Structure 1
Amino acid sequence: MSFDELLRDLQEGASAQAAGIRRGYGGPPARAVSVRSGLARLRCASLLKPLYAWVTAAHYPDYERWRRHAEPAVVVSSNADTLNLWLAVGPGVILDDIYRRTGVGWALPNGDLSRFGSVEVAADEVATAYAALAQTAAAGDPVAGTILGWMREVTGEQQFGAREALRSSEAGIKCGWYGAPDEAVLRTHAVAVLPRGGTRVTVVVGMTAQPYTDPREREIYRARVTEGLPVEGEHEKVAGGLLRGLMLNTLTELGHRRAS
């Protein structure tokens, strides 16, 4: 299904974005693709957790203490551990460091600065930042390499079938999913870093905000969130197919050779 087919049937009030980057020394010319329908920027949910983990390592004098929080923040998307990193180092410092390392600048969320998932991003920015992370890992940065290794450990419902859709069992995946009380949508996002060898890298990103207005469904969703129960299944129902379609089309447009 083409981008046009995926996007033209979006419900009123929905937003969707996709972006990808293919680049690296010794490979074909750099290539990028992006598409958007709806809002130009979306709240990031947990999509940036590996980037937060990457830049906070330098601010922890104790590596094991950093790892104790960074690993679950990436592998199982632990909000409590992410919040520890976010507040211990400081959101301004974290976002400034991401800008310094990747060239991508994001603003602090309005209001409560403890809400790390309220940073607003665009898919092409996310792709650029993760490409920088991947190429830094390829150049020998041990922390960046560790982060990508953890992304390859993300499994089950938390990767929304992205590896299977992209046919890359070794892809590093991170997804973000949430529906805040002040929103009438569910946000479901994903980034995939595909191995290519050397400093070559391919990154694809899909981001969606799908209407979620049924009062009863919203009540059940909020109750599950409050009780700490998983809600990935609801996000899969609302946006899983769209998310995978956006990512697969992006990979195809980049001309990346997928395993058969």
Structure 2
Amino acid sequence: MGFNELLKDLDHSASAQAAGIRRGYGGPPARTVCVRSGLARLRCASLLKPLYAWVSAAHIPDADRWRRHAEPAVVISSNADTLNLWLAVGPRVILDDLRQRTGVAWSPPNGDPSRFGSVEVAADEVATAYAVLAQAAAAGDPVAGTILEWMRQVGTSQAFGAREALKSPEAGVKCGWYGAPDETCLRTHAVAVLPRGGTRATVVVGMTALPYTDLRERGIYQDKVAKGLSVEAEHEKVAGALLRGLLTTALAELGHSPRDGG
């Protein structure tokens, strides 16, 4: 299935993006793919938590303290631990460091800067940033290597079937999911870093913001969020199939095959 088939029947209010990068010394020529339907930029939810954890390490002298918050931020998507890093280092410092390392420029959210999940991003930017993370890890950056290892530990309940869809059980995965009270959509995003060996990197990203307008369902959803209960099943119902389709189609467009690793 190609991108046209995936996106042709989307509701007019929906947004979806996919992107992928395949590059690295000793591999095939660099290759990228990107497709977008709807909004050019979407709120990132928890998609960037590993990147925040990566750059924050250099700004927190106490390595044990950094790890105490960074590991759960990545592995179980802990909002409280992410917020600890985000506020301790500062949103502008974290995002400026990411710009210097990856070349991708993101801005703190308008209004309340503590809302780390309200940074707006595009899928191709996310793919670029994670490709830099992956190649930094391959080149010996110990913090980047640790972050990727944590991404490989993200459990199936928070991976939306990405590894199975990509046929890459060793892939590092991070997903983001949220539906804010002021939105009539659910945002469900995923990034996967596939193992390739050497300094090569393959990254695919899928991002969706799909209509979620039923007042009763939205009320139940917000009640669960307020109580700290899981809402991943609702995101799977609304966006799971499309999200996996975006990831696998992006990977196919990159020409990735099992012999490439992963």
TM (normalized to structure 2)? 0.98
Which letter maps to 2:25? Y
Q: Which residue of 1 aligns with 2:133?
A: 133
Identical aligned residues as a percent: 79
Deviation at 1:156, TM superposition (A): 1.8
Which letter maps to 2:230? P
Which letter maps to 1:86? W
Q: Which residue of 2 aligns with 1:229?
A: 229
User: What are the within-5 Å matches in structure 2 for residues 1-260 of structure 1?
Assistant: 1-258=1-258
Is the partner of 1:19 in helix, strand or coil? Answer: strand
Where structure 1 has 5 or more consecutive residues not aligned to the other structure, the ranges are: none
Structure 1 residues 212-258: Cα deviation after superposition (integer angstroms, max 9, x where no partner): 00000000000000000000000000000000000000000000113
Q: After TM superposition, which residue ranges in structure 1, 4 or more long, deviate above 2 angstroms?
A: none
Structure 1 residues 162-192: Cα deviation after superposition (integer angstroms, max 9, x where no partner): 0000000100000000000111100000000
Q: What is the CA–CA distance in structure 2 between the aligned matches of 1:146 and 1:124, rounded to whole Å?
A: 24
Structure 1 residues 63-86: Cα deviation after superposition (integer angstroms, max 9, x where no partner): 010000000000000000000000
CA contact (8 A) 1:21 1:31 kept: yes
Deviation at 1:157, TM superposition (A): 1.6
Which letter maps to 2:136? T
Q: What is the CA–CA distance in structure 1 between the aligned matches of 2:205 and 2:41, rounded to whole Å?
A: 13
How big is the alpha-carbon RMSD for the aligned residues of Structure 1 and Structure 2?
A: 0.8
Q: What is the CA–CA distance in structure 2 between the aligned matches of 1:217 and 1:227, rounded to whole Å?
A: 15
Structure 1 residues 139-168: Cα deviation after superposition (integer angstroms, max 9, x where no partner): 000000000000000012200000000000
Q: What is the CA–CA distance in structure 2 between the aligned matches of 1:189 and 1:203, rounded to whole Å?
A: 14
Structure 1 residues 71-115: Cα deviation after superposition (integer angstroms, max 9, x where no partner): 000000000000000000000000000000000000110000000
The aligned length equals: 260
CA contact (8 A) 1:46 1:177 kept: yes
Is the partner of 1:33 in helix, strand or coil? Answer: strand
Which letter maps to 2:167? R
CA contact (8 A) 1:166 1:258 kept: no
Is the partner of 1:94 in helix, strand or coil? Answer: helix
